[in-house]
Structure 1
Amino acid sequence: MNDQSHRGLRSQSLLERAAAHWQMAPAPEVPTEPVAEVAPAPKKPMPAARIRPVDRAKIDRDALAEGGMLVPGGPVTALAEEFRLVKRQLLATGADIAKRDEDAARMILLCSAQPGDGKTFCAINLALSLAAERDLNVLLVDADFNKPDILGRLGLQAERGLLDALGDASVDPEALVIPTDVPQLSILPAGTRTNADTELLRSDRAREVLDALLAADPDRILLFDSPPALAASSAAVLATLVGQTVLVVRADRSSEADLREAVALLDGCEEIQLLLNATTYRAEGPRFGYYGQEQD
């Protein structure tokens, strides 16, 4: 690997914490009592001009709870605290990236080496955690075109999405964004499936679509849930468009060979960090890692 091109991967951050967990056998889980949610301070509302005059889609809270994910308005659990720590680091890294590229700093890719490592689980939880910030609006983009799963997990439905905007220059990508009843969280579906997804992402139109989504809201962060890097070529293309890539590592089965190959494929992104999934939380050890046993 190129030492200079992976500062995020080699920094004192998620990687070293994840690596420490990855090389150690999981310890017994430490029960964590939920902490009562403290009423948050009023959030900065999205400017009225940026909100489409449609009803906000209602996210299925029961489905989130059944999937072991964060529930908006629910108690502050160990899982919530873990994702708070994750987002703090990503936002800090984004601030550094913004010094050289403001647009790239507002785009984050969630990926994994293989299917079943939990990237969609982590993408949804991270989006919910980021949406709790006072000064951010989050657009969660389902870019796993072969297996779009975000809408189903949230209890939402849609027919058109990102692929439709990429394939038709007359389509306004902002018109495909679904505002939700979670303040400051919107969803962009994957859209109509096509065999040319990688080529569409490589086109000039892709840059136009991303520019339009960023320009529609200066407080917006685009969070992409991509296909696994070793399963679909579109992940590598997406990595060239974003400022940060988070590579989800499943503690009980991700191999070092797979991780190295995935990092090589995602080389187009200069900031790559590892996020450990499916390991036991240890109160005395590094904190990153307790994300249940979720599949993609």
Structure 2
Amino acid sequence: MTAADPNRPPRASLLERASDWFDYAPPPPVAAPRHDPVPLPSEPAPAAETPAFAPLPVTRERVAIDRERLVERGMLVPGAAVTPLAEEFRLIKRQLLLAADEAATTDAVKARAILVCSARPGDGKTFSATNLALSLAAERDVEVLLVDADVAKPDVPRVLGFDDGPGLLDAIGDPALDVEGLVLDTDIPQLQILRAGTRGHADTELLASGAARQVIGGLARANPRRIVLFDSPPVLAASPAGVLAGLVGQVMLVVRADRTSESDLREAVGQLGACERVSLVLNSVSLRPGGNRYGDYYAYGSEA
């Protein structure tokens, strides 16, 4: 056995020698394969918002209000000097508008529908409804639709000086008719009229139908600025007044001071029980001393 040479380098290990023989050097680094992301189909752009369908404007018949007839009947005349009657209806309409605002918290549409009626014929309901409509038409923030709902004795066209024609009953009886197309424009800004329409043998039942509820509700819904006034039949002379009371937000009951009895008044208020807000307007009041009439309309108060 020979002695180890101290100057000889140590022998490489088996693994190191094998690496030299077989070129076990690590391979050069290889770039990782590039994986370009596959483009995903882009989400379609949101469709442009389709504007709400705007109904075509309704073509309406336009009528002229006969001012001379208003003067002859002692009624309000638009543009004329302020009279005691005008002041009285200003007070009345202000109370009605305040009540409508209060009722709007529960039913904004129904609150803008007002029924004007009386216990008996001749108490002044049509006179009151028409003057109230003329007074309301002078307001800046509302428009007025006066509906002649006294289908047995429609007086509004005669009072204002134009011909009768199709109206409320026709729209209720024929679903194909658009009630807005039967509304009349007038030469008084912000005042429109709906006539009673063609009478039939079952008008009360027609007014009590679901179709009537839809038509009458639609009159107020069609215009959020619109106050709808109904001139109804006398409560104790015909049943439609009690039916209509359930479709409005408030009732204005005209009481004739020199004729309406307490029993009639109580019975009329009872017939109007479907409406929670019934108010009284006292007509033809004479004040003492002197016996001079202060005005046609003196008192306004809630009875409900």
TM-score range, shorter chain: 0.7 to 0.9
CA distance 1:192–1:54, shift in 2 (3 Å): closer
**Match for residue 257 of structure 1 among 239, 260, 263:** 263
Task: State the AA in 2 paired with 1:278.
Answer: S
Q: CA deviation at 1:281?
A: 6.3
Q: How many residues align?
A: 242
- Aligned partner letter, 1:223: L
Once the 2 structures are TM-superposed, how far is the Cα of residue 289 of structure 1 from its aligned partner? 5.5
Note if 1:108 corresponds to 2:114: yes
* 3-state DSSP of counterpart to 2:286: coil
Q: Residues 51 and 256 (structure 1 numbering): CA distance in 2 closer, same or farther, change over 3 Å?
A: farther
CA separation in 2, counterparts of 1:231 and 1:53?
Answer: 36
Matched AA of 2:72: E
Q: CA deviation at 1:197?
A: 1.4
Instruction: Report the equivalent of 1:29.
Output: none
1:54-203 alignment, distance < 5 Å: 54=60, 56-203=62-209
Alpha-carbon distance in 2 for matches of 1:63, 1:137? 23
Q: State the one-letter code of the partner of 2:281.
A: L
Whether contact under 8 Å (1:276, 1:288) holds in the other structure is: no
Structure-1 separation of matches of 2:164 and 2:123: 26
> Secondary structure of the equivalent of 2:255?
strand
User: Is residue 60–residue 184 contact of structure 2 (8 Å, CA) maintained in 1?
Assistant: no
CA distance in 1, matches of 2:295, 2:85: 9
Structure 1 length normalisation: TM-score?
Answer: 0.78
> Offset of 1:104 from its aligned partner?
1.2
Question: For residue 25 of structure 1, what is the aligned residue in structure 2?
Answer: none
Partner of 1:271: 277
Contact map agreement 1:120 1:225 (CA 8 A) in 2: yes
Separation in structure 2 between the aligned mates of residue 291 and residue 181 of structure 1, nearest angstrom: 27
CA contact (8 A) 1:50 1:216 kept: no
Computing the radius of gyration over CA atoms, which structure comes out larger, 1 or 2?
A: 2
Percent of matched pairs sharing the same residue: 61
Q: Deviations over 1:22-73 (max 9, x none)?
A: xxxxxxxxxxxxxxxxxxxxxxxxxxx8964456311000000100000011
The structural deviation recorded for 1:159 is 1.5
CA contact (8 A) 2:69 2:160 kept: yes
Task: List alignment gaps of at least 5 residues for structure 1.
Answer: 1-48
Deviations 1:206-245 (A, max 9, x none): 1211232223211111100000000000000000000000
Supply the distance in 2 between the matched residues of 1:56 and 1:170 (Cα, whole angstroms): 22
**Which protein is richer in helix relative to its size?**
1
1:242 pairs with 2:248: yes
Provide the TM-score with structure 2 as the length reference.
0.76
Contact 2:85 2:295 in 1 (8 A): no
Query: Who is 1:232 aligned against?
Result: 238
Q: Does 1:206 align with 2:212?
A: yes
User: 5+ residue gaps in structure 2?
Assistant: 1-54, 299-304
Cα separation, 2, equivalents of 1:54 and 1:75: 31
